Structure 1
Amino acid sequence: MIHETRFLISRKQFAIDLTTITGKQHPRGDLHAYSGRANAVWYRRKDGVTRACIGTLMLFSHYLPEPLDLEDPHAVLSADLDGRYGGDCDGRWDGERYWGAQEPAVMEQHLAILRPMLTDYPSAPASHDGWWTFQGA
């Protein structure tokens, strides 16, 4: 992934909760494979409406030249990871409607993060490290 200092919605960037990065790796011949996940938030726009999203980001690569330092979240994120699937959205807020969890406690947790995100667009929550993208320069 690439860490960027400037937010551009067209770059499909994610703000990641570094404390939630988990994963495993194993040798694959002369290379190494890694598979993991992290909690993340992101913005997307559809039909001119900006939405704040919360969910899980899949992190994986089958062809790493060296093993990753799994104790260093920035080292994991800075690896050549595959992001073809993007984030798995668990909740979304567009300023009027919430989509996502049906459990009131989870809905409240999501909205506690998503409402300020949309109000402070394009800021990332203080608990998340932004902005990361899978897209090349």
Structure 2
Amino acid sequence: MLVRDAMSTVVLTIGPTHTLRQAAGLMAARRVGAAVVLDTAAEGMGILTERDILTSVGTGEDPDLETAGAHTTGDVVFASPSWTLEEAAEAMSRGGFRHLIVLDGEGPVGIVSVRDIIRCWAPVRRHRTTLVG
């Protein structure tokens, strides 16, 4: 199975000046665990994850003052839609992260997470009814 088959095509894109509270609100509303941070001034792309927000808040930083840009992972590993799920899982394992931005051409077309991969690999659980007779 390929990344394109597992990835979420809901890509939340925010700017580096969004506060962590704003980012968390947008992520919660869209039910995603990561946002792509586009910095047009620096012509770069990074990722802000729920873990980044949790780490900031957990260390006592104010989510209304801290910005996405200050907590963005800039050294991002990107996936291709044509990667296998094994390649994506290996990249995540090697890098110690749970999300990959999927690029096709210049822009993000999706995000694949560990949860997406598990959903594809795990057998479908079916409710079985046992008849007693």
TM-score normalized with structure 1 length: 0.29
**CA radius of gyration, larger in:** 2
Q: Which has the higher contact order (CA 8 A, sep 6+)?
A: 1
Structure in which a larger fraction of residues adopt helix: 2
TM-score normalized with structure 2 length: 0.30
